[in-house]
Chain A
Amino acid sequence: MEGMGRFIVRRLIGMIAVLFAISVMVFLIFNVIPNSDPAQRIGGKNADQELIDRINEDWGFNDPLPQQYVTTMKKVFTGDLVSYQNSRDVDDEILKGIPVTFSLCIGAAIIWMLLAVVFGYLSAVRAGQATDRALTIVALIGISLPVFWLGEMLLYYVANKLGLFPVGDYVELTQDPLQWANHLILPWLTLAVLFIGFYSRVLRSNMLDVMEEDYVRTARAKGLPERQVMLKHVLRNSLIPIITLFGLDFGAVIGGGAILTETVYNLPGVGLYAGESVASLDLPPLIAITMFGAFFIVFFNTVVDVVYAYLDPRIRLGTQAA
């Protein structure tokens, strides 16, 4: 596995380069490109001249651009970014939101991967039969349901009318694990449904392709039980592309994709904070959240590359040759 260490180092260097490029873009988009006074935009609608002068001073908007970039990123990464509209510390708010967002996203991800693999597997093994047709319909419904609609429906019927689950809000895991899960079941399902539908369809078609491979025929000719042929040879090879999708989607969900779910269920996560900040055009939190989201998307892509290389040894060879 000595190729693996080198591979990981290469990927980490790549990740830092991508993050640097993103930070430059974020800086340009927020502070430079809009054709108006950046201090005024950052200060918000009710900023007076005194505040604007202070912001100009703080952010160094009279300095040359590279200097401005350094100042902005320093603010983002050292934690002295403050919202001028409500005087709250941005990094504190994000840190407060992280456990909520992670609870939501990790739980949803586990549900969506498990169910997608089970549904996709059953669909592929029974392709063309009643099970497959039923699962196809279920998957298409899942893909078609908008998160805000599904969230509201579950809230109204399951939580409110039937009273099976609490209506919104969040309980910390450390405070009461049972209540934590109880409050999160509906949000988990809401966030997972789209992905279950989508992933099970992708897995089904991957598996049907892999079943035609010569090495699957070899596995059968070896006298392996059909279940072993399916799990070890077909499913394993079919999961590789799913892992890529998962990395992209999981990063995206953590980095902002959970906005709707958090808003519908009033979960005080990073997504809800982002939603509120967009609504009040509060730029300092948005700069930080954009970088936060970008970091997780890039980070999970890197993780995916490493896992991918572990799952498919040919990829490691590619990097050694390069």
Chain B
Amino acid sequence: MSPTTAGGPQPLLSVDDLHVRFATEDGVVRAVDGVSFDLRPGEILGLVGESGCGKSVTAQTMMGLTRATNSTISGSVRFGGNDLVTASDEQLQTIRGREVSMVFQDPMTSLNPVYRVGDQIIEQIQAHKGVDDDEAKERARELLASVGIPNAAERVDDYPYEFSGGMRQRAMIAMALALEPRILIADEPTTALDVTIQAQILALIQRLNQERGLAVILITHDLGVIAEVADRVLVMYAGQIVEEGTLDEIFYDPQHPYTWGLMGSLTRLDQPPPDRLPQIGGAPPSLLAPPTGCRFRPRCPHAFEKCGELPDLEVRLSNAAGHADRCWLDPADKKRLREVEGRIGLEVPA
């Protein structure tokens, strides 16, 4: 169980000890390796980590989208009395799009090019509700208007190629929200968009969260995006969650050296620019043969003997019940170690 369950409200969705492995020609890729977390009603949960750390696989597994002949999935994803890991295809179909919706990274390729945008939204509605075409189309119009598509009454008949990238992502969100799901999983929804559009899409997600109490899992590698909208943050590294906490806890009191490294590599406008952009030394480990012990050990300048043993994700601070991490360092020492040139960061190994 995730440490955050204690005392909090009943979680909406609960992931427990999720493992996802893919058999490939080179061996078994352990894409997700023991991930546990809860999603609470009405929160925006940020899932952050670098490319290939297992964020998207985690998200897609929650929807049953990683099921394949070469994948092995264990653990559980509890949602409304169902376990989405073991649910039948029919059960999953009733949940996908209606209870849990997903928006993907690349809006340019996520809509089918040969069908009208409106028809793709209508298809979403009619997949779960027996409404006639006219009613569904009217609903599609409303949805497009509600996500800020100008002239939605006419644009509903456009093909995806007639939409810009930002409009397509809005249309994807409109489609995802068509049946008022309880959870929206947004997998890098703004990565393919330019910054002004990015801000609009984030504002839209935030508005839907506030107006409808929509719970959101926001997956990104962009800490700026997280800082803007997330309530709680999970930091993922090499298939595992290495730190979990509220937005403030993660940004102002990060406990895991990997999180320090992420913070340190942010460029900030309120501080003089560094001579050289800080980076985390080394490269992410291969998930074919992850390092033993702490996954971050080979890149961590603070690693010591104990790090050969894998630390659990647990609360190590006396004053923050929901702030957990996977690091053996003493919390008192961490305050000193994470201080690099007057701000939080990770020392570059000599």
User: Taking beta carbons and an 8 Å cutoff, which residues of A are in contact with B?
Assistant: 128, 213-215, 217-226, 228, 232-233, 236-237, 240, 311-314, 317
Give the 7 A-B CB pairs with smallest separation, nearest first.
A223-B97, A223-B96, A214-B109, A215-B112, A222-B97, A221-B102, A313-B159
B220 at the interface (CB under 8 A from A): no
B182 at the interface (CB under 8 A from A): no
Contacts of A311 in B (CB 8 A): 114
CB pair A225 B93 closer than 8 Å: yes
Across the interface, name the chain A residue whose C-beta is closest to B106: A214
CB pair B110 A215 closer than 8 Å: yes
* Contact A314 B161, CB 8 Å, known A218-B110, A222-B97, A223-B97: yes
* Contact A223 B128, CB 8 Å, known A218-B110, A236-B114: yes
B63 at the interface (CB under 8 A from A): yes
Interface centre among B65, B93, B106 (most CB of A within 10 A): B93
Q: How far is the CA of A311 from the CA of B159 in the complex (A)?
A: 12
Contacts of A314 in B (CB 8 A): 113, 159, 161
Closest chain A CB from B25 CB (angstroms): 14
Apart from the given pairs A224-B97, A237-B114, 14 other A-B contacts in the complex at a CB distance below 8 Å:
A213-B109, A215-B112, A218-B104, A218-B172, A220-B96, A221-B101, A222-B123, A222-B175, A223-B92, A223-B97, A223-B124, A311-B114, A317-B161, A317-B162
* Contact A214 B110, CB 8 Å, known A221-B97, A224-B123: yes
Chain B residues numbered 116-167 whose CB sits less than 8 Å from any CB in chain A? 123-124, 127-128, 159, 161-162
- The contact sample of 26 A-B pairs, CB cut-off 8 A, is A213-B109, A214-B104, A215-B110, A215-B111, A217-B110, A218-B111, A218-B112, A220-B63, A221-B63, A221-B102, A222-B96, A222-B124, A222-B127, A223-B93, A223-B96, A223-B97, A223-B98, A223-B127, A224-B123, A224-B127, A225-B93, A226-B89, A311-B114, A314-B113, A314-B159, A317-B162
B319 at the interface (CB under 8 A from A): no
Q: How far is the CA of A219 from the CA of B63 in the complex (A)?
A: 12
Closest chain B CB from A10 CB (angstroms): 20
Contacts of B106 in A (CB 8 A): 214
CB pair A223 B94 closer than 8 Å: yes
Contacts of B97 in A (CB 8 A): 221-224
Closest chain A CB from B109 CB (angstroms): 4
B95 at the interface (CB under 8 A from A): yes
Contacts of B196 in A (CB 8 A): none
CB pair B104 A217 closer than 8 Å: yes
